[in-house]
Amino acid sequence: MVEKLLSAPAFCGAKLTIHLDRVCANWRKLADMTAPKARCAAVVKADAYGTGAAITAKALYDAGARTFFTAIPSEGITVREVCPDAEIYILGGLFHGRAGTYELHGLRPVLNSLEEIEEWRLFNLGRETALPAAIHIDTGMNRLGLTLDEAEELGTKRFEDVKPFLSLLMTHLSCADEPTHPLNALQLERFKKMRGFFPGVPASMANSAGVFLGEEYHMDIARPGIAVYGGNPIPERENPMQAVASIHAEVVQVRWVEEGHGIGYSASLTATKRSRIAVISAGYADGLHRLAGSSDEKDGAHFFVGGHFVPLAGRVSMDLIALDVTHVPEDLVRRGTLVEVLGDNVLVDDLAKHAHTISYELLTGLGRRYHRVYSDGSNQPEAMA
């Protein structure tokens, strides 16, 4: 109750809006691209990429998604509470000694090693109907999954042992966001060969970027993540997805800084002329990275206010960011004005680039101090106060 009160508009300096209609529109776009050959799942790990797993998964379920992927069991349990009959796979695998948790909540482990496969096989012994699970084959990521030799031996010598519970065979693309990278075709060739050792088992390969590699990569189930949340799946191309998250931070003070004076910590940026500076209530404690700031040596990110892009002036501090609004009419930027930090004008991939990171890290790292609002497209999110 206290946490809910403190996240109300009157107690917050910035607002985070999650556009659920756009989440669903992005997912439907990807589902249309993979249909009719492949079903489209949704990856909702890391709190649905920072958007809130329970609310976002329910919206995706209502839009037609019936298969979800999370990283760990607790995330899967959250999704199960709002999607009672969905297929929920746990990408992190079968955590040691916790098979009962998966059974209790109807979760499907993605078995990443022979050891995990054996533990799940033993857990299923004596059951009339085996509990489903996926098997992950490493075709070039070199992270999780069976080696090619392990997969071939399992398929040729022990397929009958795993057949009762094997609901999905999957691999993970390493370089799909680089469409011409030779590893994409090599992984496809390897996975096709591995599928031959597990006849009749549905397969999954395409992540967000993989969906855009073409039908051959779609297999039976595609599992997009970042594209559902508005990130650009192919960075070298124009983003085909809609922006999902928007942040608006309140101006808490407007001041003039004289030429030659430093702005912010370490005076990293020196005013080259008399400048009007607006300070907003947001900072790196809200997930806005310090590297997005500016200095005398480098430009920083730009935010958007009053129809104008405005540059960050100096460092991003814990709770505050200074903006140079000298070129914006004074009546458009005052104490209480809301500045777009992220949204339709300040794109998540552009902001991430200025922060020397990626959209995944930016979205999943958004802090807890925002007044969080969910919009279905029919409602106008309320003002801060």
Give the pLDDT confidence score for residue 194 in this predicted structure: 98
Decide: helix, strand or coil at residue 290: helix
Spatial contact of 70 and 48, defined as CB atoms under 8 Å apart: no
**Residues 225-275 pLDDT 10s:** 999 999 999 988 999 999 999 999 999 999 999 999 999 999 999 999 999
Of the options 1.10.1200.10, 3.40.50.300, 3.20.20.10, 3.40.190.10, the CATH number for the domain spanning 20-229: 3.20.20.10
Confirm if 220 and 19 have CB atoms less than 8 A apart. no
CATH code reported for the domain at 245-375: 2.40.37.10
Amino acid code (one letter) for 261? H
Instruction: Go through 211-224 and write b for each residue having 16 or more CB atoms within 10 A of its CB, e for each that does not.
Output: bbbeeebbbbbbbb
Q: Do domains 20-229 and 245-375 have the same CATH topology?
A: no
Three-state SS for 384? coil
Residue 45 among the catalytic residues: yes
pLDDT band at 379 (very low <50, low <70, confident <90, very high): low
- The whole-number pLDDT of residue 1 equals 43
Full-model pTM: 0.94
Flag whether pLDDT at 377 surpasses 90: no
Report whether 18 contacts 257 (CB < 8 A). no
Kindly state the average pLDDT of the residues 372-378. 91
Beta strands 245-257 and 269-270, pairing class? unpaired
Task: Identify the pLDDT of residue 148.
Answer: 98
Return d(Cα 215, Cα 234) in angstroms, integer.
16
**265 is an active site residue:** yes
150-200 pLDDT, tens digit each: 999 999 999 999 999 999 999 999 999 999 999 999 999 999 999 999 999
User: What stretch of H or E contains 359?
Assistant: helix 359-364
Among 15, 45, 61, 89, the one annotated catalytic? 45
Query: Does residue 183 sit in helix, strand or coil?
Result: helix
pLDDT grade, residue 5 (50/70/90)? Answer: very low
Domain ranges of the chain: 20-229, 245-375
The residue annotated as part of the active site, out of 37, 163, 193, 265, is 265
For residue 378, the model assigns a pLDDT of: 78
Over the Cα atoms of the chain, what is R_g?
24
What is the structure's pLDDT at 383?
53
Alpha helices in 125-275 (DSSP H): 148-157, 159-162, 182-195, 208-211
Please report, for residues 60, 170, 200, the alpha-carbon distance to residue 203 in angstroms, rounded to integers and kept in the order given.
22, 5, 9
Q: Are 204 and 110 in contact (CB under 8 A)?
A: no
Which pLDDT score, from 0 to 100, does residue 294 have? 97
CB-CB neighbours of 371 under 10 Å: 22
